[in-house]
Amino acid sequence: MAIHSSMRGLRCFCVAADCLSFKETARQLYLTPSAVSHQIKQLESELGLDLFLRQTRSVELTAQGKAFYQALLPLMRELEQTLRTFSQQKNPTEISISMPEFFASELFVPRLVGWSEQHPDINLKVETIKSRQDPAKHTDLQILLASSKPSDKIAYELFPISYVPACNPALYQQLSGLGFEALTKVPCLVHQARPWSWHQWAEQLEMEVFTPKQVIQLDSMFSVARAAQQGLGIALVPWPISHSWFASGSLKRLFSEELESRDKYYLVQHETDPNKPQIQLLVDWILQSFQRTG
């Protein structure tokens, strides 16, 4: 039987087999989810195989799908390398990296100045994540916040963080003389991924009674810091990553006591791609820029 599978269909299958999500495959290949589904169904029809088990919210590879993927992947990589070698035009390498939204806005993006001048042949794709509860992005590198070192083969510790109580200058003037009673006057702001942070902070201080006026959870650390800047209440913001907010005067520490945590930022490289030696350039730059410095 003649097989007429297109390169697009095979590429679509490899991406879908890697991320196990038609929606994510569509995003990576700039297609619609229905187009991805059509490509996969057409390939399955040509092969006479069921490659995926389709469930309501997810897909999984069948045993035949796994075997086909393992056999096809090295061939696709070899073909891509061949095309790259014989290409008449030098195409820029694209490196993708995902990281928490607050890390991107406060540290990574501000320090990117000069990167494009040093590496004009490397395109950088930055994906941001609001919360640790959000699904992981499928990228070459990942910066993440975790309470223990990731189990990936290649993981570098960057720096630890603590959380400091902060508010805007106007609230500071009103509350600074009240001591911990200030917590009963205005709302306590916190990231929804750490809803008990204020209670943990009070426990570290051995407060016998902790009765805040109100606790407001927000879905991103930028929203937490922004809400405090706007005078909504007192926020627990991560230090030292929020340094610029204090340096600019947008926020002031209301109490000197910090919430100590096991949280640290890590840089993770999921696997080594021999076709992308430029990844190591970005790894080296990140380590030089952020490791143990914050």
DSSP per-residue string spanning 176-200: TTSGGGGGGTSPEEEETTSTTHHHH
Helix (H/G/I), strand (E/B), else coil: 217: strand
Q: Which residues, other chains included, contact 86 with Cβ-Cβ below 8 Å and sequence gap of 6+?
A: none
Pull the structure tokens for residue 233. 């209440």
Q: How many CA atoms within 13 Å lie on the side-chain side of 74? A: 3
pLDDT of residue 272: 66
Q: How many CA atoms within 13 Å lie on the side-chain side of 72? A: 20
Q: Which residues, other chains included, contact 121 with Cβ-Cβ below 8 Å and sequence gap of 6+?
A: 90, 92, 93, 278
pLDDT of residue 294: 44
For residue range 23-80, what is the model confidence (pLDDT) as tens digits?
999 988 888 989 999 999 999 998 999 999 998 888 999 999 999 999 999 999 888 8
pLDDT of residue 20: 93
pLDDT of residue 275: 61
Report, as ranges of residue numbers, the positions in the chain whose pLDDT lies below 50. 1-2, 88, 293-294
First-to-last CA distance in the chain?
Answer: 60
Q: Which residues pair with 156 in a beta bridge?
A: 267
Distances in whole angstroms, Cα of residue 18 to Cα of each of 54, 137, 255 = 15, 12, 47
pLDDT of residue 2: 46
- Separation CA 58–CA 146 (nearest Å): 26
Q: Residue 177 in contact with residue 132, Cβ under 8 Å?
A: no
pLDDT of residue 6: 76
